[in-house]
Amino acid sequence: MPSASFTREIVVTADPARCWEVLTDVPRLVDWVSIVDDAKEIAHLERYTAVLMDRLGPFKLKADLDIVVSEVEQGKRIRVQANGEDRQVASRIGINAVLVLNARHDGQTAIGVDGTYEVIGRVATMGAGTIRTKANKVMDEFFSRATVELGSA
């Protein structure tokens, strides 16, 4: 059952207020990541749904995600937990991540994301390396778009 931790940080030219505005705009964020679609806000900064769709080896994964925001420190920190299942492929995915914004003395903002993910079921048979490569691609997409939207430092 592949599971892993991830950590990324970038520095952008936007101030923390602008970063918060952009990074809590779920429909915008869904456009940033190619494997996530159809996000719906159930309650702002509390609960969302989305669909994760990807091909991994012989498997075509389509998991309905239930996304819960469990902690919010307005303008600074947010914890998100996403869980989903694809019954056709008999696989489950779980993600637990924290996004932190830190204002810097030079007016820029450090954006950090720390978290873990776990894949269980038939998709997990593809191996941790393959799944890690997909996870890194998602992180690359997210941070690349964040840099474009919020300014490269």
Tell me which residue range forms the domain holding 73.
3-150
Residues contacting residue 77 through CB under 8 Å, at least 6 positions apart: 71, 98, 99, 100, 101
Geometric angle at alpha carbon 50, from 99 and 84, rounded to 5°? 85
Query: What is the mean pLDDT of the segment spanning 2-6?
Result: 87
CATH at 56: 3.30.530.20
The predicted-structure confidence for 41-90, as pLDDT tens digits, reads as follows 999 999 999 999 998 888 898 999 999 999 999 999 999 999 999 988 99
Calculate Rg over the CA atoms of the chain: 16
Distance CA 2, CA 93 (A): 10
Q: For position 130, what pLDDT does the model report?
A: 87
The Cα-based distances of 74 to 17, 69, 86, 122 in angstroms read 10, 12, 33, 39
The predicted-structure confidence for 19-34, as pLDDT tens digits, reads as follows 999 999 988 988 899 9
Specify the pTM.
0.91
Q: Residue 28 gets which letter from DSSP?
A: H
Q: For position 1, what pLDDT does the model report?
A: 56
Give the total number of structural domains in the chain.
1
Distance CA 81, CA 97 (A): 6
The predicted-structure confidence for 91-127, as pLDDT tens digits, reads as follows 999 999 999 999 999 999 999 999 999 999 998 888 8
